[in-house]
Structure 1
Amino acid sequence: MASYHIETYGCTSNRGESRQIEQALREGGHYPADGPAEADVAILNSCTVVEKTERNMLRRAEELQEQTADLIVTGCMALAQGEEFDEAGIDAQILHWDEVPEAVLNGECPTVAPDTQPILEGEIGILPIARGCMSNCSYCITKFATGRVDSPPVEENVEKARALVHAGAKEIRITGQDTAVYGWDDGDRKLPELLDRICTEIDGEFRVRVGMANPGGIHGIHEELADVFARHDKLYNFIHAPVQSGSDDVLEEMRRQHRVEKFREVVAAFDDRLDYWTLSTDFIVGFPTETDADHEASMELLREIRPEKVNVTRFSKRPGTDADEMKGLGGTLKKERSKEMSAVKREIVGEVHENMVGTTQDVLVVEEGTGDSVKCRDGAYRQIIVQHADEYDLSPGDFATVEVTDHQTMYAFGKPIST
C-alpha cells in the first residue's frame, strides 16, 4: 500500500481524470496523504493551455520533486510536451492518466480490505472474490496488510455477481490480490469454475473483466482458464498477468512464483485458443539486483511477446520489505532503463491500435468521456472512444457496433454503424 498526493490543474476533463485515478488508487488499497511531504508518491495532473501555464507546471513539478520520494506527471502537458520535464532535469515518470494507478501500485498486488463488499458504480460492478495472496514477493508491502488468501465459496461469489447484474451492472470487474489463486486455500484453484458459472447461470447482457492474476497463479490452470475464455462471449478476452522481469535471476531475487518460461506457456495457451485478445503485463525496471544483461532480457521478452497493454514501473523501495535492505540502483540508471522500455512499449501499443483501424467491433459503453464522448470496451477490453455520443444516442450501459476510424497510442476512436 502507498500514500499518495494528487494535484490537478486545468479543465473539467483533467479533474474528472483525477477523480478516476483516485478511485482506482482507493480500490487498490492506497490512501491519500496529508501533503506531498508525507506521500510515497506525488501525482501532478498537468495543463498546457498557455506558455505561462507550462512554466507553472515545470516549477510545481520541481517543488514536488523536492518534497516526495516519487513523482508522476500526467495530463495534457505530460502527453504533449513530456520532454520538457526531462530537459528541466525533473526526475518524473511521464504517464497517460490511466497508467497512473498501475505505476503507483509499484508491482504490488491490489489490497482488498476484510470488509470489502461488491460495489456498483454506474454501470460497473466491482466484485472482490477473495482477500490475500499466496506470494511472498521481496518488494511487496501489501502482504503485511492482507495475509494469505481467504476465499469465499464459489456459490457466494456467484450470488454476489447476480445481485450486481440485477442492480444494473453491465460490466462486472473481478478483483482480488491475485485472482488466479482464488480457492487455493481450499486446496483447489477455482477461478475457471467461478467464471464459467457466472457466465452460464446469470441471465442478462453483461460483460466480465478478470483482474490481476499472477503468472505463477495462472500456470497450472492456464489451459483450463483459456478454455473458459474461449467458451464465453460474456468474458472480455483480457488477462492482466504481471511478469515483472524477463530475467529468471531477477525473478528469483523478487521471489516471484514463476519464471519466464511459465509466463510464455500462459501466453501460448491464450494465443492458441483466442484469435483476438489482450495481454496486459507489468515490468519493474531497476530492481536492486538488475544488471544490464537482466534489463536486456526484459527488453527482449517485451519485443518477443508484444503485449497489447504494458505498465512500466521504476522500482521503489517499500519500508519493511526485504528489498528495502538491498543496495539500490541509481535514479539516473532506472530512469534511462524506464525510458528505453517505455519507448518500445509505445511502439507496440501504438501498433496494436493502428491495426484496429478499419475493423468492426462490438462494444459496451462503460462510462462518460470528455465533452460529448463515451468510453467503450470491445471484446478484448480495448478502449474505443466514440465522439458526439448524443448524435448516436449512446450512454453508459449501451451495447453498440462501431467501426474503428482512428487511434492514438493508448486507445482507438470509433463510429457507430447500423447492423
Structure 2
Amino acid sequence: MEQTKSVAFHTLGCKLNFSETSTLSRLLEKEGFEKREFNDKADVYVINTCSVTDNADKECRMLVRRIQRRAPESMVVITGCYAQLKPQEIASIQGVDLVLGAAEKFNIAQHLKELTKGDSTKICSCDVADVSGFISSHSINDRTRTFLKVQDGCDYNCSFCTIPMARGKSRSDTVENVVKNVHQLAATGVKEIVLTGVNLGDFGKGPEGKKHEETFYQLVQELDKIEAIQRYRISSIEPNLLTNDIIDFVSKSRSFMPHFHIPLQSGSNTILGLMRRRYRRELYAERVAQIKQLMPHCAIGVDVIVGFPGETDEHFQETYDFLHELDVSYLHTFTYSERENTLASGMKNVIHMNVRNDRNKKLRNLSFMKMSEHTRRHIGDTRKVLFEANDKNGMMEGYTDNYIKVTTPHRQDWVNEIIDWKI
C-alpha cells in the first residue's frame, strides 16, 4: 500500500457517523493520503455505514458495486455499525477488501499498510462487549459548523434498535477534554458546535465502565463559558434525560440555541411499552410544555417510527393526534424496518409495508405543516442567522437560532458570519 495516495469517503446515517468519518479522513491525510470526492477516482474508498434501516444496508452494497464499475483496482474499506453487526455478510460482497468493526476503525491507517489488493477480504472485528474505549471526533466542512462527538454507545435496550450491539456500552469524554477540544475548534474559526452522541443525555460514563461523576448538565454549563464559540446545539436527547435544569439553563444561556431534538418514536403508550422506551407520552408532553413556557420561540424536532409491529390504525391515530396537538416544529419520520437479533424482529402482528409507507407519508405531511407554522409565527421577527459557505446557484443558506432556514443571494462577506435578519 506504499503507493496509495488518494482516499474518498462516503457516510451513511447519523451526525455521529459524519463526525467519525471526518476524523478518519484527517487520520489518513496525516499519513500522506490525498482526499478526493467520492465520485472521483481514488486508490481507497471508505464507506462508513449505518444499520438503523434496511435501506442503509442496501445502499452500502450499491455503493460497492458502483466502485467496482468505476475503479475495480481500488481498495474498498467498510466500517461503521453495519460492519460491526454483519462483518461476514459484508466480506462476501465482491470488491470489499477490508471490514473494520467498532474497535478497529480508528486504526485504519495501520490496516491499510498491511493490505494488498487481491488478498482475501480481511475482517477486523470483535465482540461488541470488548468495545470500551472512547475516541473523540468532529466534522468540519466549511468551518461554519462542526459536529463534536462527546458520547458513544448506549445502555438502553429498545426492542427495535441495533445500536447497542453495534457501538457497545455507553461511555463518554470528560468535561475537561471536551472543553479542550472546543477551544481548538474555536481557533479554526468555527462559529457553531453541534454536540453529538448515541445517547447524549447519558454523558458522564467513562470508558471501561469507569464513572467520571459528571453529567450532561455540567458539560453544557462549562461550554457556555467559552466565549470564543457563539453557538451550540444539542443534536438529540432522550425525553427522560432532558431535565428541567437543562431546559432552564438553555433558556438563559449565552450560546445554547433555543432548539431541541427529542425522540418520541410513538404517541401511543401501548406501542412505547412494546418498544421498551423509558418514558410515556405524558412525560414527553410535560417536557415540550416546559420548553415552550420558558422559550415560546424554541424549535422542537421529533423522531417518530411508524409501522412498528402491533401498531393498529388506532395506535397510529393516537400518535398523529398527539403530534398534531403538540407544539413541536418538525418531525423526522422513520418507517419501521426489521433488524436481526432485536426483540421486535420476533413480534407478531407485523404491519404491511404499504401501510407503513402510507403512515410515513401522513406524518411527513404533518411535519411540513408544523414547520410552516413555526416559520409563520416568526414572520416579522429579527433573528440571528449563521450563513454557510455553500453557493447553490448563486444563493446561500443559513439558520436562525431557532432553526428557521433562510435563503438569500450569495454574499462572500456573509459566509460564516452571524447576521441580524428579519424573517
Pairwise TM-score range, normalised by the shorter structure: 0.5 to 0.7
> Match for 2:57: what amino acid?
D
2:239 is the alignment partner of 1:215: yes
Equivalent of 2:341, from 310, 320, 325?
A: 320
Give the secondary-structure state (helix, strand or coil) at the position aligned to 2:151: coil
- Partner of residue 27, structure 1: 18
Q: Secondary structure at the match of 1:217?
A: coil
What is the letter of the counterpart of residue 137 of structure 2? Q
Q: 2:418 aligns with which of 364, 389, 399?
A: 399
Contact 1:364 1:400 survives alignment (8 Å):
yes
Deviation at 1:40, TM superposition (A): 2.8
Percent identity (aligned): 23
Q: 1:41 to 1:349 in 2, by over 3 A?
A: farther
The one-character-per-residue Cα deviations of 1:300-333 (angstroms, maximum 9, x if unpaired) are 1111113112111111111221111224210111
Aligned to 2:171, the other structure's residue is in SS state coil
The runs of 5 or more residues in structure 2 that have no matched partner are 1-8, 21-46, 63-130
Deviations 1:97-155 (A, max 9, x none): xxxxxxxxxxxxxx999534233332223211111123111111111022221122211
The 1-side partners of 2:151 and 2:312 are apart by 36
Letter in 2 for 1:196: Q
**Contact 1:367/1:376 (8 A) holds in 2:** no
- Separation of aligned partners in 1, 2:277 and 2:407: 36
Alignment of 1:295 with 2:320, yes or no, is no
Match of 2:138 in 1: 118
CA shift in 2, pair 1:385/1:175, >3 Å = same
Contact 1:112 1:128 in 2 (8 A): no
Whole-Å separation in 1 of the counterparts to 2:205 and 2:233: 21
- Residues 20 and 307 (structure 1 numbering): CA distance in 2 closer, same or farther, change over 3 Å? farther
CA gap of 1:369–1:322, structure 2 versus 1, over 3 A, is farther
Q: Is the 8 A contact 1:247 1:298 kept in 2?
A: yes
Whether 1:151 and 2:172 are equivalent positions in the alignment is: yes
How many equivalent pairs are there? Answer: 311
- The CA distance in 1 between the partners of 2:160 and 2:19, in whole Å, is 17
Return closer, same or farther for 1:32/1:175 CA change in 2, 3 Å cut-off: closer
Question: Separation in 2 of the partners of 1:270 and 1:403?
Answer: 24
Distance of aligned partners of 1:290 and 1:137 in 2 relative to their CA distance in 1, 3 Å threshold: same
Structure 1 window deviating more from structure 2 (173-182 vs 354-363): it is 354-363
Distance 1:193 1:215 in 2: 18
- State the partner residue of 2:409: 387
Q: Which amino acid aligns with 1:394?
A: W
Shift in alpha-carbon separation, 1:26–1:148, aligned structure 2, 3 A: closer
Q: Which amino acid aligns with 2:256?
A: L
- Report the CA distance between 1:28 and its aligned residue: 7.8
Distance 1:242 1:113, change over 3 A: farther
State the shift of 1:283 in Å. 0.9
User: Shift of the alpha carbon at 1:229?
Assistant: 0.4
Asked if the contact 2:11–2:48 (Cα under 8 Å) also holds between the matched residues in 1, the reply is: no
Q: Deviations over 1:155-195 (max 9, x none)?
A: 11111112111222111110000111112563866112111
Give 3-state SS (helix, strand or coil) of 1:362's partner: strand
CA contact (8 A) 1:113 1:146 kept: no
Matches within 5 A, 1:267-346: 267-327=288-348, 328-346=350-368
* Residue aligned with 1:235, SS: coil
CA contact (8 A) 1:237 1:277 kept: yes
Distance 1:367 1:300 in 2: 39
Distance 1:250 1:38, change over 3 A: closer
Partner of 1:93: none
CA contact (8 A) 2:388 2:397 kept: yes
What is residue 370 of structure 1 aligned with on the other side?
Answer: 392
Amino acid at match of 2:184: A
SS of residue in 1 equivalent to 2:153: coil
1:236 equivalent in structure 2: 257
Q: Tell me how far 1:370 sits from its aligned partner.
A: 1.2
Cα 1:146–1:307 change in 2 (3 A) is same
Q: Contact 2:152/2:197 (CA < 8 Å) preserved in 1?
A: yes
- Cα distance in 2 for partners of 1:21, 1:373 equals 27
Residues 112, 282 of structure 1: alpha-carbon distance in 2 compared, 3 angstrom cutoff: farther
CA RMSD after TM alignment:
3.0
Q: Which has the larger radius of gyration?
A: 2
State the one-letter code of the partner of 1:31: N
**For residues 155-166 of structure 1, what are the structure 2 equivalents within 5 Å?**
155-166=176-187
Q: What CA distance in whole angstroms lies between the structure 1 residues aligned with 2:316 and 2:250?
A: 33
Is 1:190 the counterpart of 2:215 in the alignment? yes
Over residues 262-318 of structure 1, what are the superposed CA-to-partner deviations in whole Å (9 max), with x where a residue is unaligned? Answer: 111211221121131110101101101111221111011111113112111111111
AA of the residue aligned to 1:214: E
Does the CA-based 8 Å contact 1:112-1:176 persist in structure 2?
Answer: no
| Distance change >3 Å, CA 153–CA 256, structure 1 → 2 | same
| TM superposition shift of 1:401 | 1.1
* 1:290 counterpart SS class: coil
Q: Secondary structure at the match of 2:328?
A: coil
d(CA) in 2 for partners of 1:321, 1:171: 36
TM-score norm. by structure 2 comes to 0.67
